[in-house]
Amino acid sequence: MPSRILIIEDEPDIRKTIDYNLSKESFKVLQAASIQEGEQILASDKIDLVILDLMLPDGSGLTLCRDIKSESQTKHIPVIILTAKTEEVDRVVGFELGADDYVTKPFSVRELILRVKAILKRGPTKQDQSVNTEYSFDGLILNYEAHQAHLDGKEISLTALEFRLLKHLIDRKGRVQSRDQLLEDVWGYSSDVTTRTVDTHIKRLREKLGPFGEHILTIRGVGYRFSKDAD
């Protein structure tokens, strides 16, 4: 069964280009030109991944992203956001709302396809290889099975990607992880042009963790590591 990919994008040329190239890679592609059309397809078809434009004629793709990630029937579906360079804030909000990745317009179709493949390959089974079901240190408790994070007794809401990133750093505490390595291990692909994706996520993660975020150290010119004295 080929993976089914829904493109929600109001510009017909972009839609067709993505459709053409993904179909060539044997994906089954469905197209929607508005949020409403997208919602209809999501309600009636089995979809494995959504490519979502943010500026849509009947509203913001961010709203739809939030809805996809909050409904129990659709929240497992990965979302890749298409965003113009000037929409940095939207991109950050998109991750807040649970988007799995983003691609900046104008984008290379090849890169988009690589990301689609990486995300589909990642799947839910790859997420938890740890035998431990819980990690706790300095007020932070991560429940790996429930994918829940608590800090000083209060639940903090991490996206799936932030959770994976934090767990990845903790699992390798004391060891520097380069941005490229993180991209490959946490995001599932490597590409030298997108390492700032890592920085964006680390920044959001630190903000959510407050003072605890200081345990994530920046190693200049290399990457990040979780502080060694964490255990």
Residues that bind Ca ion (CB under 5 A): 10, 53, 55
* C-beta closer to Ca ion: residue 10 or 185: 10
CB of 13 to Ca ion, least distance (A): 11
Give 57's contacts (C-beta < 8 A, 6+ positions apart): 10, 33, 34
Q: Are 131 and 178 in contact (CB under 8 A)?
A: no
* C-beta closer to Ca ion: residue 58 or 171: 58
* C-beta closer to Ca ion: residue 12 or 211: 12
* C-beta closer to Ca ion: residue 10 or 171: 10
Helix (H) or strand (E) holding 156: strand 154-156
Which amino acid would we find at residue 73? Q
- Quickly list DSSP for 66-120: HHHHHSTTTTTS-EEEEEETT-HHHHHHHHHTT--EEEEES--HHHHHHHHHHHH
CB of 227 to Ca ion, least distance (A): 43
CB of 14 to Ca ion, least distance (A): 8
* C-beta closer to Ca ion: residue 59 or 211: 59
CB of 105 to Ca ion, least distance (A): 9
CB of 10 to Ca ion, least distance (A): 5
* C-beta closer to Ca ion: residue 19 or 53: 53
CB of 53 to Ca ion, least distance (A): 4
CB of 115 to Ca ion, least distance (A): 19
Distance CA 17, CA 13 (A): 6
Which residue sits closest to Ca ion, CB atoms considered? 55
* C-beta closer to Ca ion: residue 12 or 174: 12
Helix (H) or strand (E) holding 223: strand 223-226
Distance CA 40, CA 31 (A): 11
Distances (CA, A) of 1 to 46, 58, 124: 11, 32, 18
Residue with tokens 């709203």: 63
Distance CA 3, CA 121 (A): 11
